[in-house]
Amino acid sequence: MKKEIYPKKKFGGKISVPGDKSIAHRAALFSLLARDKIIIKNFPNNQDCQSSLKAVETLGVTIEESADKIILTPPDKLNVDDETIIDCGNSGTTARLLAGIIAGSDAKVILAGDESLSRRPMKRIIDPLTAMGAEIYAEDNHLPLKIIGKKLLPFEYRMPIASAQVKSALLLAGLASSTSVTIQEEVITRDHTERMINEIGSGITVDEIKPLPIVDDIDPRKKKMKMPADFKKEIKLSAQAKIIGGEIDIPGDISTAAFFMAIAAISKQKITIENMGLNPTRTAFINYLKAIGCTVEITDKQTISGEPRGTVSITGGKLKSKKIVKDNTVALIDEIPVIAVMSAFAEGTTIIRDAGELRIKESDRLTAVTENLERMGVKCGLLEDGLVIEGGKDLNGADFKSYGDHRIAMAFSVAALFLVGPSTIDDVSVVDISCPNFYVLMDKITK
C-alpha cells in the first residue's frame, strides 16, 4: 500500500507507544515452560508478536484475550503432532527462541517462516544448540528447521557475536531440558530474558564483571584498573531453574519510540512519550540524542514486572554529527536507520561502522538506507559494515522504497516530514510487522 506524506510545520504533543516487542515475544514463549498461567498486560498487536502467540497456541497453550490483558494457560506437555509446521512469519525472535525451547523438549516440529525470514541466518543458533546435543536439520543453515527435541547436555558458551536472541535461545533450551547453562558475554546485550526468569521463575544468576585495581607494572606506587576476566557478564542458569507463572506488564517499546523521538530531534520541538521502557540495555538511543544536541527529561520512573519505565520528553536542538562504532553500534543496531535519517539533518559528517549485521535483517538495511538517502539528495557512502552520511543541507521530497522492511518504511516516513515537497513510501503495510498504528501516532504529534 503506497502512502503520500507531506512536510509538516508544527510538531509536539504526548503519545504512548505499543508494548515492547522483545518483552512480548518472551512473555508469550515462556508460557510453554510455565507451571501456571501467565497474564500479560499491554501485549502489542503487531504481526511479529502475533506469530509468537500463534506458535504457542499451536503447541498447546490456551489463550484468553480481553480488552486489557491476555491470559496464557500452559499445557501439561507440548501438545503437537510430530513434524507439525509452525509458521514464524517474519519474526526472527519467534524462530530463534522457539528453536531453543523445542530443542530441549520432547516435541518434534518444523519451524518455517516467510520468504524474508527464510533468508536470515540460523547457523548462530544451530551450532550452539547442536553442541548441547540438539538434533536439528536445516538446508544451508536457514529455515525451515526440523527439530527433534531431547534431553540436552550442560553447556558453557562464550558468545562469539552479540545477540540477545542466541543467548535467549540457549537459556530457554536449558529451561526446557532442566539443564544448566552458562553464558559469557564480551558485549552486553538485551537482558529481558534474564529479568523475566527472575520475575516469574527462579534459578538464574547474573554476574557483571567489573574492573579491579591492580599495581601498575611500570610504577608500583600507582594502581590501574584491569578486568579480571576477558568478558563483561556471566549468566548462569541452574538445572533446577523453573518458570512458575504470574503477571507481566509490558512497557512501551523504546525502539518504536525512537522514530517519534527522532521527529522531536529534527523539528527542535518537544515530544513526550509515556510509559516507555527504560531497560539500561536499551537506552543507548537516549544517550545518543543527548550527545547530538537534544534535551532529555525523564519523569515518573518506576520498575514493574522487573522492567524500568518512565515518561520521556525529548526536545530537539541544533543537531551535530557523532561517530558510531563497536559496542555503541551493537547497542543502537535497531535504531541505525532512523539515526541515518537524523544524520541527514545534522551538521557535519556521520560515520557508522561495525554494522554489518544490518545486511541480514528484513532487508539489507545498509543498502536500503543509502539508496533512500540518495533519493532525497543526501551524499551517502556505503561501506561494507556501515555508512558515511554528509548532513546539513536542504533536501527534497522523494519516492522512497520500503524494501519490505518496517524500520526502513518508518525511518523514511520521518524524513518525509522535513523535506521540500511531498514524498511517497511505496509500501507502508510493512509497518504492521512492528507498529500497526504508526501513522496514527505520527499524526498526533504533527500538523
**For this structure, is 334 an active site residue?**
yes
Q: Which of 246, 272, 291 is the last residue of a domain?
A: 246
What single string gives the DSSP state of each residue in 334-387?
GGHHHHHHHHHTSBSEEEE-S-GGGGGSSS-HHHHHHHHHHHTT-EEEEETTEE
Strand pairing report for 399-400 and 423-425: parallel
Q: What is the pTM of this model?
A: 0.96
Which residues in 180-191 are b (16+ Cβ under 10 Å) and which e? bbbbbbebbbbb
Cell of 77: 506437555
Judgement on whether residues 217 and 273 belong to the same structural domain of the protein: no
Q: Which of 246, 271, 286 is the last residue of a domain?
A: 246
Taking only the tens place, the pLDDT of each residue in 320-370 is: 999 999 999 999 999 999 999 999 999 999 999 999 999 999 999 999 999
Say if CB 90 and CB 433 are below 8 A apart.
Answer: yes
What's 93's domain CATH number? Answer: 3.65.10.10
pLDDT at 221 (0 to 100): 77
The structural domain count of the chain equals 2
Taking only the tens place, the pLDDT of each residue in 191-227 is: 999 999 999 999 999 999 988 887 777 777 777 788 8
Judgement on whether residues 175 and 278 belong to the same structural domain of the protein: no
Judgement on whether residues 283 and 199 belong to the same structural domain of the protein: no
Say if CB 224 and CB 214 are below 8 A apart.
Answer: yes
Judgement on whether residues 158 and 304 belong to the same structural domain of the protein: no
CA 216 – CA 81 distance, rounded (Å)? 63
Average pLDDT over residues 73-91: 94
Residue tagged active-site, from 253, 334, 405, 432: 334
Judgement on whether residues 413 and 389 belong to the same structural domain of the protein: yes
Using alpha carbons only, give the angle 65, 69, 71 rounded to the nearest 5 degrees. Answer: 60
Judgement on whether residues 224 and 316 belong to the same structural domain of the protein: no
Using alpha carbons only, give the angle 48, 352, 364 rounded to the nearest 5 degrees. Answer: 40
Q: Find the domain containing 168 and state its range.
A: 21-246
Judgement on whether residues 57 and 146 belong to the same structural domain of the protein: yes
